[in-house]
Amino acid sequence: MKVSDDLINEAAKIYKVLSNGTRIKILYFLRYQDNDVAVNEIVNALGLAQPVVSKQLAILRRYQLVRNHKEGNKVFYILDDPHVLEMIDDMLNHVKHEIKGLPHPKNLY
C-alpha cells in the first residue's frame, strides 16, 4: 500500500502529540468516564495544576483527540476518537514485552 507523504507527516504529528505522558493520562482518564468531564474533575483526579491540564487539553483538541463544550463558565471534555487509545494500548503492550524481555507474538500478516 502506497501512503502519501502528507498522510505520513500528519500521522507523525499525532505521534508527537501522544509522546507526552500527561496527555496519555488525560486520554485514559476520559476513556473510563460515562459522561463529559469538567476540567476541574480532570485536575482533581490526576493531581495536576489546572493550567497544565487546560494546555494539554487544548493540544488534544487541536488534533481532534478530544472535543469540548461549555456550560456556563465550565468546560467539559470527552474523547473524540476513542480508537486512538487502542493504538496506545498496543504500544503499552509492546513496552510490557520489552520490560519483561519477552518475545513478541508472531506477525499475523
pLDDT at 98: 76
CATH topology of domain 5-80: Arc Repressor Mutant, subunit A (1.10.10)
pLDDT tier at 101, thresholds 50, 70, 90: confident
Residue ranges covered by each domain of the chain:
5-80
Q: Specify burial of residue 84 (Cβ count, 10 A radius: 0-12, 13-18, 19+).
A: buried
What distance separates the 2 farthest-apart alpha carbons in the chain? 52
pLDDT tens for residues 43-93? 999 999 999 999 999 999 999 999 999 999 999 999 998 889 999 998 888
Q: Return all residues near 96 (Cβ < 8 A) that are at least 6 apart.
A: 102
Share of residues in the chain with pLDDT > 90 (%): 72
